Structure 1
Amino acid sequence: MVDVAVILGSASDRAIADKAIEVLAKNNVSYDLQVLSAHRNPDELDAYVRGSDAKVFITIAGLAAALPGVVAARTKKPVIGVPVSAKLGGLDALLSIVQMPKGVPVACVGIDNGDNAAHLAIRILQR
């Protein structure tokens, strides 16, 4: 069993994930890292989320940033979205993540802020 699942929409987002992983590791929080795109790997993503025993999901995505919402639609567990500054300074990803429909909540941290995503996950786990 892992505490946090860290999902990247693309391997190019690894630097952001590394920030989150560093904080989780320093705090002895177990994690699993996966690269699964909501667009390129929808079936694998669906199977992973539905089968995961993680207590919290950190989802890292740029551009359309569909990943956090797709994950939140498939679990009742907390989902934290990290927008990536791939285009438009990350504003496009930020707006995509914070504008979830009612009933599909996603917490959102600042652009490229994998560190804060991990800190938020740790606070959620401590409740």
Structure 2
Amino acid sequence: MSEVESGATPQVGVIMGSRSDWETMSAAAAELDRFGVAHECRVVSAHRTPAWLTEYAESAEKRGLRVIIAGAGGAAHLPGMVASQTLLPVLGVPVQSRTLNGLDSLLSIVQMPGGIPVGTLAIGKAGARNAALLAIRILALQDSQLAAKLQAFVTEQTASVLNEGLAGVEPPLPPTAIDSAEGGKR
């Protein structure tokens, strides 16, 4: 549900260093869509468009953004540069690179100097998805409807794991069933 689709003011900015990062960062957008969180997606290069980066970061809060998810590969300066120019939470997603499989990106994003916090997630699509879920958790602190959707997601995810048995093996019991089976003794 980008701002174009919903007409709502975006709460989350999903930015990336180049168009090629969209393959990874689309996982963040998809998760935000699933929860109905209005967001915007932009290419903002720390190296090729530094003035645009500054304008984006400095105007983000005034435009209604509450969290920024920044994905970058290689030198991966985008998350740190954005964090240095806004008070909004910045979540960094290392994009997998051909050279070092994203380890270079991870180390670049996670090694911020003191005073420039960037919440760094895992490399690749899992990191992008988790960045969106973390942004949703941040927003849910002030939004009870979003918190209810998040709780339903967690409950569904838990049930899925508990009901997912192995062939020929009993599925695991939930903690309350274990307590009952043991006569309430733990």
Shorter-chain TM-score tier: over 0.9
Instruction: After the TM superposition, list the runs of 4 or more consecutive aligned residues in structure 1 that deviate by more than 4 angstroms.
Output: none
2:102 aligned residue (83, 90, 96): 90
Amino acid of the structure 2 residue aligned with 1:30: A
Which entry has the higher C-alpha Rg, 1 or 2? 2
Counterpart residue identity of residue 27, structure 2: K
**Structure 2: unaligned runs, 5 residues or longer:** 1-8, 142-186
2:67 aligns with 56
Report the CA distance between 1:26 and its aligned residue. 0.5
- Candidates 17, 28, 32, aligned match of 1:20: 28
Per the alignment, residue 103 of structure 1 pairs with: 115
Which has the higher relative contact order, 1 or 2, with Cα contacts under 8 A spaced 6 or more apart?
A: 1
1:88 deviates by 0.3
In the alignment, residue 132 of structure 2 is paired with which amino acid? A
When the two chains are superposed, the root-mean-square deviation of aligned CA atoms in Å is 0.8
Equivalent runs, 1:111-126 vs 2, <5 Å: 111-112=123-124, 113-126=127-140
Identical positions, percent: 48
Higher strand share: 1
User: What TM-score, normalized to structure 1?
Assistant: 0.97
Deviation at 1:85, TM superposition (A): 1.0
Task: Count residues with an aligned counterpart.
Answer: 127
Q: Are positions 1:73 and 2:79 aligned together? A: no
Q: Where in structure 1 are there 5+ consecutive unaligned residues?
A: none
Aligned to 1:22, the other structure's residue is in SS state helix
Corresponding residue number in structure 2 for 1:11: 19
Q: What TM-score does the superposition give when structure 2 sets the normalisation length?
A: 0.67
Q: Name the SS for the 2:114 alignment partner.
A: coil
Q: Counterpart amino acid of 1:77?
A: L
